[in-house]
Amino acid sequence: DFVDQIRYSVNDFEKIHFLSYPVLDKIKNGLLNIGSSMVRMSGSGPTMFGLFLEPPDLTFGVPNAEDDWIVNTAQPVVHFDNE
């Protein structure tokens, strides 16, 4: 499926930025803890995003999130079926 196809993609900036800004790892772990199939940094940053197979439960927010972080959800424009 789509997630499996891009799971092995990399953002070369992530390695550099994760070393300089440990908070990015905190964001990544927070998204993984609420069920993200994968987490990436967009472009050269500072946006982090997660891909979810099911909508995440954000009742209590994202684990490890700081009060000033902005968390948004979006639905895909296209749905990919495996059939």
* pLDDT at residue 82 in the model: 59
Burial 27-57 (b: 16+ CB within 10 A, else e): bbebbeeeebbbbbbeeeeeebebeeeeeee
pLDDT of residue 46: 73
Query: What is the mean pLDDT of each successive set of 10 residues along the chain, which is 83 residues long?
Result: 72 87 89 90 82 85 81 75 60
At 2, which amino acid appears? F
| Residue 14: predicted pLDDT | 86
Q: pLDDT value at position 19?
A: 92
Which residues, listed in sequence order, are joined to residue 51 by a DSSP beta bridge? 38
